[in-house]
Amino acid sequence: MSYADFVWLLISEEDKRSATSIEYWFRCMDLDGDGVLSMYELEYFYEEQCERMEVMGIEPLPFHDLLCQMLDLVKPEREGRVTLRDLKRCRMAHVFYNTFFNLEKYLDNEQRDPFAVQKDIENDGPEPSDWDRYAAEEYEILVAEESGNEQLQEGSFEEDYDTDEVLSPSETGDKSDKLVISDLSA
């Protein structure tokens, strides 16, 4: 995988609401390349999620029940056939794709307050994209790690040199009687 391919994968994974991401995941799921996601293709990807859930000790929803949920979510123009156009139109493609590709996000969505979706729709202000949220979270983690590393390094330096220490010749390997280390932080 090239760097450019990796970047597209990362962006498509973290922001499944964008048109580019919807197209990306559709191409991944359309195994036979006919421009339609068949029930067979949906079941193929859901089986992998079921295996992951079983390993975690979670009883998966039977495929038939999940299929009803997904078809209600997408509301395809033709019954039993999900097209790219259907997914772009439904505004819930991110939930659809997470169901088949991202177990953590799928489970988060399953445990989410059903009224929260309505609140999101009614919210007047511009909401940051999933990618914006992801980038902000990763930036916060990076800042926290860097400040933690700086504090650790500073603390280690201060612990080593904060006070005067007297070391015996056996500790220093020196032949002199004693060695005084002065406070270097002053």
Q: Is residue 186 part of a domain?
A: no
Give the pLDDT of residue 156.
Answer: 58
Same domain, 143 and 111: no
pLDDT surpassing 60 at residue 25: yes
Could you tell me if 111 and 150 lie in one domain? no
- Is the domain of 103 the same as that of 16? yes
Residues 155 and 107 in one domain: no
Residue labelled with tokens 């794709």:
97
Same domain, 77 and 165: no
CATH number, residue 82? 1.10.238.10
Count of domains observed in the chain: 2
Instruction: Kindly tell me if the per-residue pLDDT of 176 is higher than 90.
Output: no
144: confidence class by pLDDT, cuts 50, 70, 90: confident
The mean pLDDT of 15-40, rounded to a whole number, is 91
Within this chain, do residues 12 and 38 fall inside the same structural domain, yes or no?
Answer: yes
Residues 70 and 144 reside in one and the same domain: no
Tokens 């439904």 belong to 90
Specify whether 22 is located in the same domain as 80: yes
**Domain edge (last residue) among 127, 143, 167:** 127
Q: For residue 172, what are its two tokens? A: 């220093």
Q: Are 29 and 45 in contact (CB under 8 A)?
A: yes
Do 53 and 87 lie in one domain? The reply is yes
The residue segments making up the domain with residue 148 are 133-181
| Region of poorest pLDDT, from 20-34, 38-52, 101-115, 128-142 | 128-142
> 92-95, long-range: CB within 8 Å, 24+ apart, which pairs?
93/16, 93/17, 93/22, 93/25, 94/15, 94/16, 94/17, 94/130
Per residue in 53-81, pLDDT tens?
999 999 999 999 999 999 999 999 998 89
Number of H helices, E strands in the chain: 10, 4
Residue 89, pLDDT score: 93
Instruction: With cut-offs at 50, 70 and 90, classify the pLDDT of residue 120.
Output: low
Whether 75 maps to a domain, the answer reads yes
What does the mean pLDDT of the chain come to?
78
